[in-house]
Every structure is written in C-alpha cells, then in structure tokens.
Structure 1
C-alpha cells in the first residue's frame, strides 16, 4: 500500500470508466478488502513508479 497517498492530502476527481473495467476493479478491491478508490489509487501509483524507473 502507498502511504504517500492519504485522505488528508487527496482531492476529489470524477472519473468515467468502461463498465467492464469498473467491475474488474470492484472485484479486485473486494478481494483485497479495500475500496474501489483505494484500488485505483494503488494501481495508478504503481504504474507511475514503473514509468519513472523505466525512464531512468
């Protein structure tokens, strides 16, 4: 989990997802015992880290 991203430092952001993607994220979040929002934030954070390390 990324502790860098806490509720106190977050902003509200509307996001439209394809229905199948939303359902997949929802299933993954339920398996991990976290919210859909947390699942999305964790995956985005991981992707951004990977892109930074690939660019270096």
Structure 2
C-alpha cells in the first residue's frame, strides 16, 4: 500500500496501537494525519511527532 501523500484518520491515537499507527504514517510519508482521542490533551506527544502534518481531534 502506498501511504506517501495520503490523508489518514487514527482513532485512539493517544496510546498503544493508535499511537503506533500515527508513528508509522509519519514514517511512511502521509501528508495529513488526524489523531483523535477523548481528551485532546493526551495527544500532545503524538502531534509533536510531526506538528506540520498531525492535527488533534476530540471524539
């Protein structure tokens, strides 16, 4: 699968497998990643991986 240049939505991105998905998407070259969690404060470290490409959303 070619992830480079894609847009992704990752639910539960604040920990565990969700955070691993965000890390993998950043490495694979996704241009925009929407990371969601119930509490957006828990997404600060995830968004910091690529602040120009990651956005936080509350679910």
TM-score by length of 1: 0.29
Higher strand proportion (structure 1 or 2): 2
TM-score by length of 2: 0.28
Higher helix proportion (structure 1 or 2): 1
- Computing the radius of gyration from Cα coordinates, the structure with the larger value is 1
